[in-house]
Structure 1
Amino acid sequence: MEIKERITQTLAFIADELKEVAPYSCIIGASAMILHGYEIGNTADIDILTTSEGSDKLQLSLKEYMETAPLTKENELFRSNFARFQLPLMDVEVMGELQVCKDKEWRPVFIEEYTTLHIENVAIRIPTLKEQIRVLSLFGREKDYRRINQLRNLGGKY
């Protein structure tokens, strides 16, 4: 099964739960780029940016899939109300009130510009390509800059 189909089917699988948080959440990262139609390769998970309350709701409604005490990387760079869910086709990571540390200061991460897709009657927000590049630049890791260059090489308009 192709990655875009796995992402779409995973989102459809949790559509009822997503309806509760969709108005204040956004798919970010590689999954968002793939949903935009960019062939950037594979991804291991779907990243959902939401509020802390949205993360709490998903943790309650998807508790049977929730990983207990998930290990997180880069705790010096990111903090959030974090949860990882091991769903049948792929994992979903939820970040409530995500913050990134820049110049020794914690800054909130939010999406200003987005487009909307509809999957199983749920309005799924994904950042515009320009916005995704802004967020990747904010994160500032080597892999983020590689992704930006990959998008530019694919002809992404931003």
Structure 2
Amino acid sequence: MAAAVMTQVSHALGEAIAASVPALHAYCRDPWVVVGSAAAALAGAAVEVADVDVLASSADAERLMALWQSLRDTRFVPAGAERFRSRFARFHFPGLPVEVMGDLQLRGSQGWQPVQVKEIVQVAVAGVPVPIPARGEQIRMLESFGRPKDLLRIQRLRAL
């Protein structure tokens, strides 16, 4: 894992990270990583961030569901069930929702495959270390997802 880099973020993203990431460090027993628009923003890309997506193990997802039970949004149904599956939960945090995906899988030409992050870097947000995929790794993952919003994020990440 690469060294930490200080990152400037929106107020909403900073609030969500301050409220959730310390608990991720404390309660997750397996490696976890922030992905999606939040990771792109933390890497410095000019993207809109609607939530904080966290890839974790299924066991850690279950642990977080128990820990954050009072914050859980039980009505939310994630889009893309035909392409993505995981042990999913969405939680209401200050700033932005946090979505936890335990053992996320993507369905492609070879069936269901685990979504894996091969290179992680640490960014610091208000002194809180946050693991995100390295820029090239984010681009690789987003290319495999292939949605219009992912293609925009790829452009913004390549522009850095």
Category of TM-score, reference length = shorter chain: 0.7 to 0.9
Instruction: Tell me the residue number matched to 1:37.
Output: 44
* Structure-2-length-normalised TM-score: 0.85
Match of 2:63 among 57, 66, 73: 57
Match of 1:46 among 39, 48, 52: 52
**Letter aligned with residue 34 of structure 1:** A
Could you tell me which runs of 5 or more consecutive residues in structure 1 were left unpaired when the two chains were aligned.
none
Is the alpha carbon distance of 1:105 and 1:80 closer, same or farther for their aligned partners in structure 2, counting shifts above 3 Å? same
**Letter aligned with residue 73 of structure 1:** A
The answer as to 2:142 corresponding to 1:147 is: no
* Structure-1-length-normalised TM-score: 0.86
- 2:35–2:55 Cα contact (<8 Å) kept: yes
**Within-5 A mapping of 1:129-144:** 129-144=135-150
Q: Deviation per CA, 1:109-153, whole angstroms, max 9, x where unpaired? A: 01111111345775421011100000001112222122212333x
Is the alpha carbon distance of 1:55 and 1:121 closer, same or farther for their aligned partners in structure 2, counting shifts above 3 Å? farther
Q: Please tell me the root mean square deviation across aligned C-alpha atoms, in Å.
A: 2.1
**Within-5 A mapping of 1:9-24:** 9-19=15-25, 20-21=27-28, 24=31
Offset at residue 76 of structure 1 (A): 0.5
Offset at residue 17 of structure 1 (A): 1.8
Secondary structure, counterpart of 2:78 in structure 1: coil
Instruction: Tell me the residue number matched to 2:33.
Output: 26
The answer as to 2:109 corresponding to 1:109 is: no
Report % sequence identity.
33
- 1:17–1:62 Cα contact (<8 Å) kept: no
Could you tell me which runs of 5 or more consecutive residues in structure 2 were left unpaired when the two chains were aligned.
1-7
What is the aligned residue count?
Answer: 152
More RCO (CA 8 Å, sep 6+): 2
